[in-house]
């Protein structure tokens, strides 16, 4: 466990943790879902669980774009890139994500032209510099990243760069929350809303969670104090029997979001009727596709895409972990067949995935402790 | 994926009104301001950058807080790698 004085504002952290203990009813159990993988990472990195009373449970949500991407989409993207003179460009997070015939990095080792880019606009630049090649940008991410892809496509069209296309895997956060709430085994009391997604979409789209589902939601920043403060705000709402959307991350998130970013998304993208999420299955209207006006830059229109479907091994219980029914360590494969080095399920794939974060910070800590104390189990 | 890195705008580029030279963690890179056209930032402003695009304007105090947070969560190296990658292809 981290000592409180290791934090940047130890007194404030202590006061906030005390307030949480004061507000939490010892007679009840609270289950709060942090939707965003960035929050999950912070919670484990700072050992925030140790500062909370045992009756407050943090459940890790679906907000890790790499984790929820079905393996078949990786296979599809790589199969396009197997065609002659195609450069496969993607963010670094994607490079080690396994497809059925290996990750992009393994394809690179076998001769595919695979490039890491840090921005969609750098993928477009690659196309400008390689006019005899076709650059395929493998786009992933929630609403934080989708506007950048949209603007890049608008630039490609305006400049008439035709040796560039996007294989679009952008997803939207609201339908994923809805799927979790609709699930019959759903057991979440309230939500810690995503910080950076909300810089784009604002706070208004969460209204139905409070109004229709009766669940409080607080959009939060990523510092330990932000997360603890958002828990205070959730507890206050629950104690006062209120259900509303609140914004703890006002310093970055405007209530109305970023209109310019939303405009770019609306210009380029439309909702897919349905899309598969690894661990959650098919969710209707949960992902973006490229509009017809930009079809020339849509890899799914320009190339034939096999439409591969790969089911996760039955033993992997990613869906249950995503919905908060199971903790990562309760999955049968956790830490055995499924580790960050050899991920079997979705949530072990990226450092923002709840299983990978749990493994990196909690599981190793527990293993070290067992070694130190010589305890056997 | 959720990495958002603060940077300070050093110069707006005359040849492309959507591009600016931004100082991010001591490295100068071209950053796209095209998503902030409703409230365009100017020289000296701080912005939060995600995948090479400025996502929002923030105050200097919040920018410094965010930088400290990146250090606290051990993401400075990843952020620096990302920043150095902008424009390298």
Query: If 0-12 CB within 10 Å is exposed, 13-18 middle and 19+ buried, where does residue A27 land?
Result: exposed
Verify that B69 and B80 share a domain, yes or no. Answer: yes
Q: Are residues B9 and B48 in the same domain?
A: yes
Domain co-membership, B66 together with B52: no
Contact yes or no for A144 and B2 at CB 8 A: yes
Chain B residues within 8 A of A41 when measuring between CB atoms:
2, 73
Higher-pLDDT residue of A318 and B45 is B45
Residue range of the domain that includes B81: 59-89
For A95, residues 6+ apart whose C-beta sits below 8 A from its C-beta are: A103, A104, A105, A114, A116
Say yes or no: A40 contacts chain B, CB-CB below 8 A. Answer: no
Concatenated DSSP letters of A195-237 = HHHHHHH-SGGGHHHHHTT---EEE--SSHHHHHHHHHHHHHH
Same domain, B49 and B83: no
Percentage with pLDDT > 70 across chain A: 94
Looking at the fold, whether B68 and B44 belong to one and the same domain comes out as no
Q: Residues 194 to 213 of A: which have CB under 8 A from any B CB?
A: 194-196, 199-200
| Of A275, A277, A279, A276, residue with least CA distance to A345 | A279
Residues in chain A: 377
Residues 230-289 of A with CB under 8 A from B: 251-254, 258-261, 264
State pLDDT tens for residues A127-151: 999 999 999 999 999 999 999 999 9
CA distance A221 to A29: 24
Same domain, B42 and B67: no
For residues A139 and A362, what is the distance between their CA atoms, to the nearest angstrom?
Answer: 31
Which of A177, A65, A73 lies closest to B1, judged by CA? A65
Distance, in Å, from the CA atom of A76 to the CA atom of A67, rounded to the nearest integer, reads: 17
CA-to-CA distance for B9 and B11, rounded, in angstroms?
6
Q: Which chain B residue shows the shortest CA-CA distance from A67?
A: B1
- Identify the CATH number of the domain in which residue B48 sits: 2.30.30.140
Chain B residue closest in CA terms to A44: B73
Predicted local distance difference test score (pLDDT) of residue B69: 76
Q: Both B48 and B71 in a single domain?
A: no
Query: Which of A119, A140, A259 shows the shortest C-beta gap to B38?
Result: A259
Partners of B6 on chain A (C-beta within 8 Å) are none
- The answer to whether residue B68 neighbours chain A at the CB level (below 8 Å) is yes
Q: Which of A37, A126, A222 sits opposite B1 (nearest CB)?
A: A37
Looking at residue A184, its pLDDT comes to 82
Residues B50 and B63 in one domain: no
Q: Which residue has the higher pLDDT, A299 or A353?
A: A299
A164-188 pLDDT, tens per residue?
Answer: 999 999 999 999 999 989 988 778 9
Between A212 and A6, name the one with better pLDDT.
Answer: A212
DSSP per-residue codes, A157-199: HHHT--SEEEEEEEB-HHHHHHHHHHSTT----EEEE-HHHHH
Q: For chain A, what percentages of helix, strand and coil (3-state, to nearest 5) are there? A: 45, 20, 35
Question: Minimal CA–CA distance to A74: which of A273, A268, A276, A265?
Answer: A276
CA distance A150 to A268: 6
B69 part of contact set with chain A, CB < 8 Å: yes
Q: Do B80 and B41 share a structural domain?
A: no
Task: Compute the nearest-CA separation of A374 from chain B (Å).
Answer: 31
| Residue B58, pLDDT above cutoff 60 | yes
Cβ separation A144–B50 shorter than 8 A? yes
Rg of chain B in Å (alpha carbons): 12
Query: What pLDDT, in 10s, does the model give residues A333-348?
Result: 999 999 988 888 778 8
pLDDT-derived band of residue A27, with 50, 70 and 90 as boundaries? very high
- Per the CB < 8 Å rule, is A115 touching B50? no
Tens of pLDDT, residue by residue over A43-89, are 988 889 999 999 999 998 888 898 899 999 999 999 999 999 999 99
**Of the segments A41-45, A285-289, A328-332, which one has the largest average pLDDT value?**
A285-289
pTM (two decimals): 0.91
pLDDT confidence band for B86 (50 / 70 / 90): confident
Query: Is the same domain home to B63 and B53?
Result: no
- Smallest Cβ distance to A151: which of B32, B50, B58? B32
Which residue is closest to B51 within chain A, CA to CA?
Answer: A119
Q: Which of A45, A65, A121 sits opposite B52 (nearest CB)?
A: A121
Q: Would you say A251 and A221 are in contact if contact means Cβ atoms under 8 Å apart?
A: yes
Please give the average per-residue pLDDT across A263-271, as a whole number: 98
Question: Does B43 contact A at CB distance below 8 Å?
Answer: no
Q: Smallest CA–CA separation between B9 and chain A, in Å? A: 17
How many A×B Cβ pairs under 8 Å?
Answer: 129
Measure the CA dihedral B88/A165/A138/A287, to 10°.
Answer: 130
pLDDT > 60? residue A371: no
B36 in contact with chain A, both atoms CB, cutoff 8 A: yes
Shortest CA gap A260–chain B (Å): 5
On whether both B9 and B32 belong to a single domain, the answer is yes
Please state the rounded mean pLDDT for residues B33-45: 93
Show Cβ contacts of residue B26 under 8 Å, excluding neighbours closer than 6 positions.
Answer: none
Residue B43 backbone dihedrals phi, psi, to 5 degrees = -55, 135
Q: pLDDT at position A366, please?
A: 67
Q: What number of other Cβ atoms are within 10 A of residue A372's Cβ?
A: 8
Higher pLDDT, A363 or A312: A312
Q: Which residues of B touch A91 (CB under 8 A)?
A: 1, 51
Domain count, chain B: 2
**Contact between B53 and A121 using a beta-carbon 8 Å cutoff:** yes
Other Cβ atoms within 10 Å of A339 Cβ, number: 16
Q: What is the reported pLDDT for A4?
A: 59
Say if residue B7 is in the same domain as residue B48.
yes
pLDDT in tens, A194-238: 999 999 999 999 999 999 999 999 999 988 899 999 999 999 999
């Amino acid at each position: 466990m981290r000592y409180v004085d290791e934090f940047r504002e130890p007194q404030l952290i202590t006061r906030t943790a005390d307030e949480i203990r004061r507000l939490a009813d010892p007679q009840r159990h609270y289950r709060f879902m942090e939707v965003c993988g960035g929050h999950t990472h912070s919670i484990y990195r700072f050992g925030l669980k140790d500062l909370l009373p045992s009756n407050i449970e943090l459940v890790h949500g679906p907000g890790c774009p790499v984790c929820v991407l079905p393996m078949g989409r990786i296979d599809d993207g790589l199969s396009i890139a197997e065609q002659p003179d195609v450069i496969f460009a993607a963010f670094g997070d994607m490079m080690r994500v396994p497809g059925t015939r290996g990750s992009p990095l393994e394809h690179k080792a076998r001769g595919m032209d695979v490039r890491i880019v840090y921005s969609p606009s750098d993928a477009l630049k690659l196309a400008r510099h390689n006019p005899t090649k076709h650059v395929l940008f493998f786009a992933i991410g929630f609403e934080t990243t989708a506007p950048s892809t949209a603007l890049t496509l608008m630039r490609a069209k305006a400049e008439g760069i035709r040796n560039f296309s996007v294989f679009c895997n952008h997803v939207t956060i609201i339908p994923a929350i809805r799927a979790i709430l609709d699930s019959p085994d759903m057991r979440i009391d309230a939500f810690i809303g995503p910080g950076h997604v909300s810089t784009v979409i604002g706070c208004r789209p969460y209204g139905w969670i409070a109004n229709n589902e009766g669940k409080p939601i607080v959009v939060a920043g990523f510092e330990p104090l932000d997360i603890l403060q958002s828990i205070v705000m959730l507890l206050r709402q629950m104690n006062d029997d209120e259900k509303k959307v609140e914004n703890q991350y006002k310093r970055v998130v405007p209530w109305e979001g970023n209109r310019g970013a939303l405009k770019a998304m609306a210009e380029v993208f439309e909702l897919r009727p349905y899309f598969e999420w690894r661990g959650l299955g098919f969710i209707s209207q949960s992902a973006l596709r490229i509009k017809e006006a930009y079809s020339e830059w849509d890899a799914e229109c320009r190339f034939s895409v096999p439409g591969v479907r790969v089911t996760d091994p039955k033993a992997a219980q990613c869906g249950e972990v995503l919905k908060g029914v199971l903790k990562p360590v309760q999955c049968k494969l956790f830490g055995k067949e499924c580790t960050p080095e050899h991920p079997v399920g979705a949530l072990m794939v990226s450092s923002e995935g709840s299983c990978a974060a749990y493994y990196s910070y909690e599981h190793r800590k527990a293993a070290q402790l067992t070694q130190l104390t010589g305890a056997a189990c | 994926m959720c990495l958002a890195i603060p940077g300070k705008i050093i110069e707006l580029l005359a040849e492309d009104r959507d591009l600016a030279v931004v100082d991010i963690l001591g490295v100068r890179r071209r950053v796209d301001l095209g998503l902030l056209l409703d409230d365009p930032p100017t020289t000296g402003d701080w912005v939060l950058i995600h995948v090479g695009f400025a996502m929002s304007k923030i105050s200097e105090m919040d920018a410094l807080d965010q930088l400290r947070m990146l250090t606290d969560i051990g993401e400075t190296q990843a952020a620096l790698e990302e920043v150095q990658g902008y424009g390298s292809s």
